[in-house]
Amino acid sequence: QPAKFAPYQKALREIRYSLLPFANESG
């Protein structure tokens, strides 16, 4: 069973980090 989002994990991680500075405190 391949890992979830296998070929897209790098892109997803990059997007997650790029969004971090804009996260609402409650979010």
Q: Considering the rule CB under 8 A, would residue 27 count as an interface residue with another protein?
A: yes
Q: Is 24 in the site for another protein (CB under 8 A)?
A: yes
Alpha-carbon span 27 to 24, nearest angstrom:
5
User: Least distance in Å: CB of 7 to another protein?
Assistant: 8
Cα radius of gyration rounded to whole Å, the chain: 12
Regarding 10 and contact with another protein (CB under 8 A), the answer is: no
Size of the site for another protein (CB under 8 A): 15
In Å, what is the CA distance from 14 to each residue of 1, 2, 9, 25?
24, 21, 9, 20
* Residues in touch with another protein (CB under 8 A): 4-5, 7-8, 11-13, 15-16, 18-19, 22-24, 27
